[in-house]
Amino acid sequence: MAKDDDQSNTPPPPPPSNDYHPANSISNIRNEVPEILDRDKGNYGSWVELFEIHCHSCNVIDHIDPKSPRPTDLTSAQWNRLDSIVKKWIYNTISADLRSTVYYKNATAQETWDRLANIFQDNGEIRAIYLENQFNNLFVENFPDVSSYCQKLKELKDQLANVGQPVSERTLVLSLCAGLIDSNYDGVAQSITQICPLPGFDEARSRILLEESRKSAKDNFGQAFLTHTNNTTTTTTAEAAQQQQQPPQQHDRGGGGGGRGSSSKGRGGKPKGKGRGRGQQQQNQTAQAQPPHPTKKA
C-alpha cells in the first residue's frame, strides 16, 4: 500500500515544450536569399531587400532592425537561439571576404548587420562621386547586349540610393537613352525621348529589348539566306567542275545506226559492200588456180 501511495503522490510530468518557430524550418538559406552580398558587385541594396523580406516572413526582423519590437512570448534562451540562426543566415549569404571582415566572436546578429552597413555606407560622399561618374559614362557598346547594359544602369542607380544620392525615374530613363547614342539603337532612343510624358524605366527598357529582338531576327534571317546562297553556289560549281573532268564519250564504229558494222549485211543477211566484193574476188582466184577436171570419154 505504501508503494501505491508514493505513486499517487508523484506529480504528473510537464507538458512537452513547443519550441517550434518559422525560422527553425529553414534548411538552406540560399533558397530563400539567392543574392550573395559581394563588395565588388555592389549589390548591397538588393541583398538587404531580400534578407529583410525573409526575416519578416520568419518573424525575426527584430534581430536586425532595432525599431521592431521584441516578442514577449519568447524566453531568453529561445531568443538567443533565434539570434544565432539569423547570424548564421548572414554569414551564409555574404562573400568570404566580407565574412572575414565582419566576423566577431559572440557578436549578435544586429552587431554583424551594422558592421556590413558601415562597410557599404562609409565615405558616402566619395563613393557617390565615383558611382555618379560611372552612371554618366555608361554606353551600350561596352556590353554584350542591351539587357546587360540596362541591368548595370539599374545596379548603379541602386548603389547611389544606398549612399544617399537617389536617382529619379526621369533621370534614369534619360541616361538609358543617352547611352544608346551613335549605336544601332539610336532611332528607338530618340523615339522614347519624344514621348510625352516620358515613359518609365521598365517601359523604355521593354521598347529597346523589342528592337534588339527585331534586329537579331533580321540578322539571323539574312545570315541563313546568305548561307543557303553560298551552299547552292558551291554545289553548282562542284557539279560543273566534275562535268569538265569527265572525258568525252567515244562513239563505237562497230555499233549504232548508220555505222559500217550495221551496214555490213544487206537484206536477208547477205554480206554487202566491200566485204562481198573481196569474198567474190578470192573465189575467182581459187577457181583459176585449180586445173580443170579431165573429161571422160564415152
pLDDT at residue 102, rounded to an integer: 94
Task: Answer whether 158's CB lies under 8 Å from 41's CB.
Answer: no
pLDDT at 261 over 60: no
Give 227's contacts (C-beta < 8 A, 6+ positions apart). none
What single-letter amino acid sits at 193?
Answer: T
168: its cell numbers: 529619379
| Burial class of residue 33 in the structure, from the number of CB atoms within 10 Å of its CB (0-12 exposed, 13-18 middle, 19+ buried) | buried
DSSP designation for 55: H
DSSP designation for 73: S
User: Helix count (H) and strand count (E) of the chain?
Assistant: 12, 0
- Which is it for the CA torsion 82, 88, 90, 93, positive or negative? negative
Could you read off the pLDDT of 114-128 as tens digits, one per residue?
Answer: 999 998 877 778 888
Could you read off the pLDDT of 234-249 as tens digits, one per residue?
Answer: 666 666 667 766 665 5
Enter the pTM of the model.
0.56
291: its cell numbers: 586445173
Neighbouring C-beta atoms of residue 112, cutoff 10 Å? 21
